[in-house]
Amino acid sequence: MAVPTQKKKPVRRVRPEPPRRTAPPARRRGPLPGNRRRHVPWWGVVLVALACGGVLWLVLGQGDPPDPAPGGETGSALDGGKPGDAGTHDEVPENVASVASPFARPATGERLQLRVLSLGDDPRQCEAVSLRVGGEVRTAYHHRCDGRDPELAFFLVRLTGLAADPVTVDRTGFELLTEEGRSLAPLELRDVVRRFPAKIALGPDVSRKGWVVFELSGVPASLRYVDADQVLVVRFPSTWL
């Protein structure tokens, strides 16, 4: 008699549970405030932007610092410069338009603006020559500087470009007219610091200032710059001190 075989029950396999993931350690905060995340309010951003804009305005928007008196430079070497021929000279050449303005206002033309800058007075270096303008005393030029010919007159001038295209200016375009009717050409002094350049191109709203020196033995009537077919004239009143 055959013995019935018992069927084996299937073995149920239990899958092992995956290992638990450990949480990463908490991020340490550094001692500096920059390591902490903070919410910056909108008004804080506005204040920072205004402060940055103010600093840029102070750096870029202000004018050049005042120039030292010309007597601060040493020596008196000339580079072949000679004063203009003496004699009667018209205020403005024929067939040339002119734009005139009293000192210390600028003479504004079509392409350039000419200004004779009012100077300070440092008796240790030079002697200031001043005049009375509108109830105020303004120094027009310096002379009798230490170590130099006493007749050398130092004018601080500024030219500003106004045209859309660059305008080339030349130091030889300056002239000083005296009350005696003489026309004087500028001198070339090699040792003068920040003298007006011999030639430079001025773009729109670009300014350049520097010393223009003349051998002056009389009283100046006006300083002018000849620009193509236009003459810019800064007149000096007769109320010299």
Q: What is the pLDDT of residue 102?
A: 95
Q: Which structural domain, as residue segments, surrounds residue 226? A: 84-89+96-235
Domain count, the chain: 1
Residue 74's SS3 state is coil
Judge whether 204 lies within some domain: yes
* pLDDT (mean) for 185-198: 90
Is position 77 within any domain? no
User: Would residue 168 count as lying in a domain?
Assistant: yes
Instruction: Label residue 44 left, alpha or beta by phi (over 0 means left) and psi (-120 to 50 means alpha).
Output: alpha
Q: Is the pTM of this model over 0.75?
A: no
Kindly state whether residue 120 falls inside one of the protein's structural domains: yes
Of residues 75 and 190, more confidently modeled = 190
Q: Judge whether 22 lies within some domain.
A: no
Question: What pLDDT, in 10s, does the model give residues 127-160?
Answer: 999 999 888 899 999 999 888 898 999 999 999 9
| CATH code of 101's domain | 2.60.40.1240
Which range has the top average pLDDT, 12-16, 79-83, 108-112? 108-112
Rounded average pLDDT over 42-65: 53
Q: Does 32 map to a domain?
A: no
Torsion-angle region of residue 91: left (phi > 0), alpha (psi -120 to 50) or beta?
alpha
- Of 177, 173, 178, 185, nearest to 226 by C-alpha is 173
Q: What is the pLDDT of residue 57?
A: 44
| Residue with tokens 């030889």, as numbered in its chain | 172
